[in-house]
Amino acid sequence: MRVDFSDLTPLLSSLDVDIASIAAGLFKYEGLFRNQDIRLDGELTVVLCQSKLTKSRQLADAISDIVSFTLHSRPRVNLHKSAERCATGPGEGTHKLSSVCLFSGGIDSLSGILKTPPALMPTAGVFVSHDRMASLVRHMQEKILNKEEIPIHKIGIQRGHLGYQQMRGFTYLVMGAVVAKIHKTDNIIISETGQTMFLPPMGALDEITMTTHPTLIEITKSLLRESYGIEFKIYEPFSDLTKAEVVSLCNAKGEISSTNSCITTRFANQEYSHCGKCFGCLVRRIGCLVAGVNDARYAKDVLAAPVGSPVMGGWPGKTIRAEDLADLQALLRLTRDVIEDKLDETARFKISSFSKEDLFRRASMDVLAALHIMYDQTRRGHSDSVRRFYEECKKDKLINLDIAQDRIGKVREAKYKPDFENFL
């Protein structure tokens, strides 16, 4: 485990380092678990500099709650005093901000940081570097954000697990809180689309994303409250917007192709920068189609290419396989279930408990509108399975020219706006 706050390092207090280490440590903990190097039962020992924290049962419980909620196992957490020399910085700088905005280098974070309203300016981005996104974030900073006088603070931690990590959102939020506290603000912006935040399970064994789930945010706030004594405001301006609506709102549409939304960043610095088959890629692809924005390129463009098509981007002899369609088939099934009101009880409960029925109906219409563009309008879609799905939707009158044009028009006119009054 490592934590590097770069230019902010001299300002860090031992308390700041403790809090950042908890986040980076749990991120590492999950990676070891997913690599099957450790088990989650038994004890979890957390070593801290601040003796007052090591005596806090509430902090230990919050750490245990984080693990339980994200990884479905509750270890017994023990807090121990470090024997090492700890940071001695003042814990704050001279530069005061009105907010910080979590910045991952994806479409949502680029759109969000550029939409930050005057009341929350000046702001700064907080980028946690644990994968291959550093060069893309640096490009966006130099090309776009420097002109807007929005700096990006890079926090380096150890490389993450190759697949998806549920602790990613927790780690980002905690690091954002450390940077916010140093800059004397308690306002943190998370500009993720609600389509991802509230995504229901798309299959019986599906592990849905919980990186910005409201429950996770509340537990994280309790950890920060117990350690810092600060009640941070977590703004979620895009929590009622679809990916297509967020793409349409972006003030730097020409740079969207430089962002990355893939579950893995292994392709991030290549010509074909996205895998094309994961949920993140599919929702991005659909969003860019409906918003009419130039997109990145996909190694396995399963929305358009049939099984057996070559994998693009330096994978000679590799082809798209039937198993590459798993997330696509789940998304298409969810689309019909939402529109026809046939969701199973688990999915229905998650959507309805947060009153997001209209959000997911609009997201489902984005899917059908994107297929209209690809399979009727431009005729660039060649997947037999996707075409069959689309034709069945037309036959059942779920989509037609008027419905598609109405939805595309509303998205491209940016009818749906961010809500910066929405905070937890």
Instruction: Name the domain count of the chain.
Output: 3
Cβ proximity of 48 and 54 under 8 Å: yes
Together in a domain, 33 and 147:
no
Q: Which ranges constitute the DSSP H helices of 86-213? A: 107-114, 134-140, 167-182, 194-197
Over the stretch 110-122, which tens digit does the pLDDT of each residue have? 999 999 999 999 9
Together in a domain, 408 and 260:
yes
Nearest-CA neighbor of 9 among 20, 1, 22, 25? 20
Q: CATH number, domain at 190?
A: 3.40.50.620
The H or E element containing residue 214 is helix 214-228
Together in a domain, 263 and 394:
yes
**Does the residue 418 lie in any domain?**
no
Nearest-CA neighbor of 109 among 132, 137, 88? 137
Nearest-CA neighbor of 255 among 99, 58, 109, 97? 109
Together in a domain, 268 and 365:
yes
Together in a domain, 139 and 20:
no
CB atoms inside a 10 Å sphere around CB 168: 22
What number of residues does the chain have?
424
pTM of the model as a whole: 0.94
**Does the residue 115 lie in any domain?**
yes
Rounded Cα gap, residues 297 and 302, in angstroms: 12
Kindly state the tokens that stand for 305: 């290419």
Domain span including residue 53: 6-81
Nearest-CA neighbor of 180 among 222, 120, 250? 120
Q: Is the peptide bond before 214 cis (omega within 30 degrees of 0)?
A: no
Together in a domain, 266 and 401:
yes
Together in a domain, 224 and 274:
no
Over the stretch 217-265, which tens digit does the pLDDT of each residue have? 999 999 999 999 999 999 999 999 999 999 999 999 999 999 999 988 7
Residue with tokens 């945010």: 217
**At which of 81, 116, 145 does a domain end?**
81
**At which of 81, 107, 128 does a domain end?**
81
**Does the residue 332 lie in any domain?**
yes
Together in a domain, 107 and 227:
yes
Residue 83's pLDDT is what? 87
Together in a domain, 61 and 107:
no
**Does the residue 17 lie in any domain?**
yes
**At which of 81, 111, 136 does a domain end?**
81
Cβ proximity of 82 and 48 under 8 Å: yes
**Does the residue 303 lie in any domain?**
yes
Rounded Cα gap, residues 355 and 251, in angstroms: 28
Which stretches of the chain drop beneath a pLDDT of 70?
161-164, 202-211
**Does the residue 118 lie in any domain?**
yes
Together in a domain, 221 and 276:
no
Residue 424's pLDDT is what? 87
Together in a domain, 127 and 260:
no
Together in a domain, 113 and 32:
no
Residue 109's pLDDT is what? 96
Nearest-CA neighbor of 298 among 310, 313, 283? 313
Residue 207's pLDDT is what? 47
Residue 210's pLDDT is what? 61
Residue 205's pLDDT is what? 39
